[in-house]
Amino acid sequence: MSGSAKRSITITLDGTNKSSTLPVLSGSIGPEVADIRRIYADLGIFTYDPGYGATAACESKITYIDGDAGVLLYRGYPIEQLAEHSSFLEVCYLLMNGELPTPAQLREYEMGILRHTMLHEQIRQFYNGFRRDAHPMAVMCGVVGALSAFYHDSLDINNPEHRRISAFRLIAKMPTIAAWAHKYNTGQPFMYPQNRLGYAENFLYMFNAVPAEEYKVNPILARAMDLIMILHADHEQNASTSTVRLSGSTGANPFACIAAGIASLWGPAHGGANEAVLKMLADIGHVRNIPEFLSEVKDKGSHTKLMGFGHRVYKNYDPRAKIIQKACHDVLGELGIKGDPLLDLALELEKIALNDKYFVDRKLYPNVDFYSGIILKAMGFPTSMFTALFAVSRTVGWISQWAEMIEDPEQRIGRPRQIYTGPTQREYLPPGQRG
């Protein structure tokens, strides 16, 4: 643990003479943490924090979020500056290595990634096992998990070179896997990666091109795709990253861990929210229906959520949402799309919600998913692909956090405890004595 302990907390357990002194550790920025590792030994009790809202599960140097101030830093660099000046592969280098690359380092890194964009020809057969209407996330879970069957040469997680090559393979192959999932849905032939293209451009080529004719990727869309990937690259210890870390703590191979992260991201409360936002906007249909919809959201019994709003950490505007909202306007304008009814509806919904006491009191603001679906739809992606694109972007964050965990000397297998409220011990009853 590189955090320092300058202070401590001493707690005593009522009705006993037991006490525990817990070191309070400081990081470089952000809240201090109480190191509770000795609390069970001292007091014989566990701590209780369902959803881990107040629990630091690890030490990390990768991403920092200040939820109250709406700040997001990748290795200390503000997301706004990376969005404006960087590229996705440069951000991948930063997240994996901790520093921005020199031009020579970036060129070498880019070549390293591009050399792994193709999939083993046998992997094409996996797609044939799915129904044509299989959700792309189902395909991603299956195909990524199966990758470990093809790379027996690099599954020793304690070998730094194996960790590096696995990270390169995963970052490089995710766009191909996702694009082929879409092609499989449409019945069109798979398009092979063209390594003369940039990372986002290559993905858009594989997604849109057909063998029958030349296809040139629109540079506006390539830049927008690269920006969206930067914004989704990492986000501290979110549910899917925590899933990857917990899976990795058992020694599972990186391909299996990333497949677990994909499965976790799929949920509508997490990465599946961008798809759910588009469905919500379609259900609302028109600005005049917004008040009725928001009344339904406020009725707890309806279980209706304002999708794309709220966040476990951000209690202010998600900085990524601001950047994507601006990109929406830029992309639609550059594509000559005069106004997008979905975007207009979303802007009006945001304006009304941000002035509604229910949402203001609960500090519910738009998150990254509120606008991402709108720009992805404008770029021609089907809603079923939205979360798959999130998974492509987040793979670098997952694999960087996974590697950091493996290299952390304090890391042990993740094994949370519980408070048990079930039946105490009782004797087995023969069937005739039950009921």
| Minimum separation from the CB atom of position 309 to ligand SDX (A) | 4
Instruction: For ligand SDX, give the closer residue by CB, 73 or 297.
Output: 297
Residue of 401, 95, 391, 91 whose CA lies nearest to 237: 401
Instruction: For ligand SDX, give the closer residue by CB, 61 or 362.
Output: 362
Q: Which two tokens stand for residue 220?
A: 């506006």
| Minimum separation from the CB atom of position 360 to ligand SDX (A) | 11
3-state helix, strand, coil in the chain (%, to 5): 55, 5, 40
Query: Among the candidate windows 22-30, 85-93, 255-263, 304-312, which touches ligand SDX by CB under 6 A?
Result: 304-312
Q: Kindly state whether residue 310 participates in binding ligand SDX, applying the rule CB under 6 A.
A: yes
Q: Kindly state whether residue 360 participates in binding ligand SDX, applying the rule CB under 6 A.
A: no
Query: Among the candidate windows 116-124, 199-207, 212-220, 308-316, which touches ligand SDX by CB under 6 A?
Result: 308-316
Q: Kindly state whether residue 242 participates in binding ligand SDX, applying the rule CB under 6 A.
A: no
Annotated catalytic residue 311: yes
Q: Kindly state whether residue 221 participates in binding ligand SDX, applying the rule CB under 6 A.
A: no
Q: Kindly state whether residue 243 participates in binding ligand SDX, applying the rule CB under 6 A.
A: no
Of the residues 167, 221, 233, 273, which one makes contact with ligand SDX according to CB under 6 A: 273
As a whole number of angstroms, the distance between CA 394 and CA 386 comes to 12
Q: Kindly state whether residue 238 participates in binding ligand SDX, applying the rule CB under 6 A.
A: yes
Annotated catalytic residue 369: yes
Going from the C-alpha of 278 to that of each of 130, 275, 342, 418, the distances in angstroms are 25, 6, 8, 37
Question: Residue 103, Cβ neighbours under 10 Å: how many?
Answer: 7
Of the residues 367, 372, 395, 401, which one makes contact with ligand SDX according to CB under 6 A: 367
Given 182, 232, 235, 311, the catalytic residue: 311
Q: Kindly state whether residue 82 participates in binding ligand SDX, applying the rule CB under 6 A.
A: no
Helix or strand run (H / E) with residue 159: none
- Under DSSP, is residue 117 helix (H, G, I), strand (E, B) or coil? coil
As a whole number of angstroms, the distance between CA 392 and CA 226 comes to 11
Contacts of 406 (CB under 8 A, 6+ apart): 157, 158, 163, 248
Query: Among the candidate windows 155-163, 307-315, 340-348, 379-387, which touches ligand SDX by CB under 6 A?
Result: 307-315
Of the residues 116, 135, 163, 235, which one makes contact with ligand SDX according to CB under 6 A: 235
Q: Write the DSSP assignment of 261-300 as a string of letters.
A: HHHHHTSTTTTTHHHHHHHHHHHH-SGGGHHHHHHHHH-G
Q: Which two tokens stand for residue 118?
A: 């193709």
Positions marked active-site: 311, 369
Positions touching ligand SDX (CB under 6 A) are: 235, 238, 269-271, 273, 297, 305-313, 362, 364, 367-369
